[in-house]
Amino acid sequence: MNVLNHKKKLILIGLLIAIIALAGCNEATGDEDAGELVVYSARNENFVDALLQKFHEDTGIEVQALHGGDTVVNRVKEESNNVQGDIFISNDVGALEHLRIEGLLEPIEREDFPGIDEQYRGEDNSWVALSARTRVLMYNKDLITEEEMPKNIWDLTDPQYEGAFAITRGGNGGMIGHVSALRNEWGDQRTMEWIEGVKDNAGGILQGHGDIRRAVGAGEFKFGLVNNYYFHQQLQEPSNNNVDVIYPDQGDDEMGAVVNAAGFGRIKEGPNAKSVNVFVDWILEAENQQMFSNASLEVPINPDIEVIEGARAISEYKVQGMSLRELGDVWEDTRRLIEESGLDLEIR
């Protein structure tokens, strides 16, 4: 039998002590004077990190951030009687509204929201949208000209574009928001026809918009249905950046481009109420709103804030009329409708 000698035993005991000490370290940090703030973010980590870093530097509040993608929505739901998070940062208003309707958000204690129109806030002010993301068609100028591009969303079902473009899977938040707006505009019947047509016509159904922009930039597809900031992101790439954009449905009798927004909500009964108030005041400062939008190259909701170079302010184009507030209500129905139309929610 293999038996350890004393020296080895000592080393092992030392290791055990180290483990315990290491475990202890974790507990030692935590509540400092300035307090802390727990942020659950569904947004891309790179868009949020610098912002939260600045918040910490400005206020001294320790930020605990969880960048969990879409899974954080469910986490907020599951933790409802054991609330861990204070602030939920979302890519799309649908998620914010969904949580609000579920009773998982609570009103932000503040009277005025300078520059943020009422329609971009929850009706109880439990969430605030900060940056707009508009559904656009980004195209590769090497492969297709502006003239050849479809000018409205319905045209995506046109056989002449068969195989030419990419869309995301049906379960993508941006896609769900888009379809919700189409239902609002067209009714369910026509929307389903559109989905069926687009699904068959599309050259690729990809996981996310990042994949689409890279693929279009690289010339795998002539164009793709994305949010406008992906276009700006692609422009910043060192290569594969010969792309341009169409804001669809801008004709007089057309519905206008579909807009979704990113913003934040206040999680109900979050553990750090004081820090939440500090955060709200801080994020509503103009420079921070701008930082929130600019990080992702989105366009600020607040018309007083300067947009990034080359981007079009939300006031410069026609916008589809559905209020973002309605998104949460129809979210689940829309998912079901997408599924029933044969567009898979997940990549298969």
Partner 1 sequence: MIRRAPLKKRKISSFMGRVPPNPLLTVISILVALFMSIPIIYVGFRGIFAGSERWLRLLDGRIPQLLLNTLGLTAVVVFFSTVIGVSLAIAVTRCNVPGRKIFSWLLVLPLIIPPYVGAVTYIMIFGPMGPLGSWFQIYSFSGVAFVLTIFTYPYVFLVVRSALKRMNRNLEEAGRSLGLDNLGVFLKVNLPLLRPSIGAGAILVALYVLSDFGAISMLRYNTFTSAIYYQMGGYDNVSATILSLVLIILTVGVLWLEARVGRKTAYFQADSSYRTLEILDIGKWRYPLVGVILLVIGVTIIIPLGVILYWSWIGIARGALDGRFWGYLMNSLQVSLLAGGLSMVFAFPIVYLKSRYPSKFTTILQRLSYSGYALPGVIVALGIIFLFNRYIPVLYGSSFVIVIAYLIRFLPQSMQSSSASLEMIPPKIDEAARNLGEPFWKVIFKVILPLMLPGLFAGGALVFVSSMKELPATLLLRPPNFDTLAVRVWVEASEAVYHMAAPAALIIIIVSIVPIKFLLDKY
Provide the binding-site residues for partner 1, judged by CB under 8 A. Answer: 1-4, 9, 12, 16, 18-20, 22-23, 25-26, 38-40, 44-46, 63-71, 73-75, 77-82, 84-85, 95, 98, 171, 207, 210-211, 214-215, 218, 220, 331-332, 335, 339, 345-348
- Closest to partner 1 by CB, 7 vs 22, is 22
- Cβ at position 14, least distance to partner 1 in Å: 12
Q: What is the 3-state secondary structure (H, E, C) of the chain?
A: CCCCCHHHHHHHHHHHHHHHHHHHHHHHCCCCCCCEEEEEECCCHHHHHHHHHHHHHHHCCEEEEEECCCHHHHHHHHCCCCCCCCEEEECCHHHHHHHHHCCCECCCCCCCCCCCCHHHECCCCCEEEEEEEEEEEEEECCCCCCCCCCCCHHHHHCHHHCCCEEEECCCCHHHHHHHHHHHHHHCHHHHHHHHHHHHHHCCEEECCHHHHHHHHHHCCCCEEEEEHHHHHHHHCCCCCCCEEEECCCCCCCCCCECEEEEEEEEECCCCCHHHHHHHHHHHCCHHHHHHHHHHCCCEECCCCCCCCCCCCCHHHCCECCCCHHHHHHHHHHHHHHHHHCCCCCCCC
- Closest to partner 1 by CB, 1 vs 309, is 1
- Cβ at position 158, least distance to partner 1 in Å: 26
- Cβ at position 310, least distance to partner 1 in Å: 23
- Closest to partner 1 by CB, 80 vs 152, is 80
- Cβ at position 312, least distance to partner 1 in Å: 26
- Closest to partner 1 by CB, 207 vs 323, is 207
- Cβ at position 173, least distance to partner 1 in Å: 9
- Cβ at position 176, least distance to partner 1 in Å: 9
- Distance (Å, whole) CA 258 – CA 260: 7
- Closest to partner 1 by CB, 1 vs 159, is 1
- Closest to partner 1 by CB, 107 vs 210, is 210
- Cβ at position 57, least distance to partner 1 in Å: 16
What angle, rounded to 10 degrees, do the helices at 273-283 and 286-295 form? 80
- Cβ at position 215, least distance to partner 1 in Å: 6
- Closest to partner 1 by CB, 4 vs 313, is 4
- Distance (Å, whole) CA 309 – CA 232: 9
- Closest to partner 1 by CB, 140 vs 320, is 140
Tokens read off for 258: 């579909």
